Amino acid sequence: MTIYGTALLAACLLAGNFLGLLLGQAMGIDANVGGVGIAMLLLIVVTDRLRDRGLLAAPTQTGVVYWSSVYIPIVVAMAATQNVLAAVSAGTVALLAGGLAVAAGFVLVPLLARLGNDA
């Protein structure tokens, strides 16, 4: 059944966020540490196991794949609900702080990618 896949996906996100909050509390901060990342790992591991045992029927997979295929439309909705006006009309301090952080990040991507290759 398709809902099995969607329910599995939901369970992974809920469990991930739960563990992420516990991890944050253990570190003494009021924030979710990697909840979504943990959920992604959970989904990968659980679906791998189920597939190996032949328990991942095609309809079940559809229940996950549908949500991955509407990812871009969801991101478009997210873009349409950002506070773009505040970003565009931000003062010099905010523009420079945000802009230079982005520039530094872009410059470092190829450097770090190369660094990791040697290891």
CB of 118 to other proteins, least distance (A): 10
Interacting residues of 46 by C-beta distance below 8 A, sequence separation 6+: 8, 12
Distance (Å, rounded) from C-alpha 32 to C-alpha 15?
A: 12
Alpha carbons within 13 A on the beta-carbon side of 49: 5
CB of 27 to other proteins, least distance (A): 5
CA distances from 78 to 10, 44, 74, 82, 97 (A): 20, 25, 6, 7, 23
**DSSP secondary structure letter of residue 44:** H
Pick between residue 54 and residue 105 the one whose CB is nearest to other proteins.
Answer: 105
Pick between residue 58 and residue 93 the one whose CB is nearest to other proteins.
Answer: 93
CB of 1 to other proteins, least distance (A): 17
CB of 63 to other proteins, least distance (A): 9
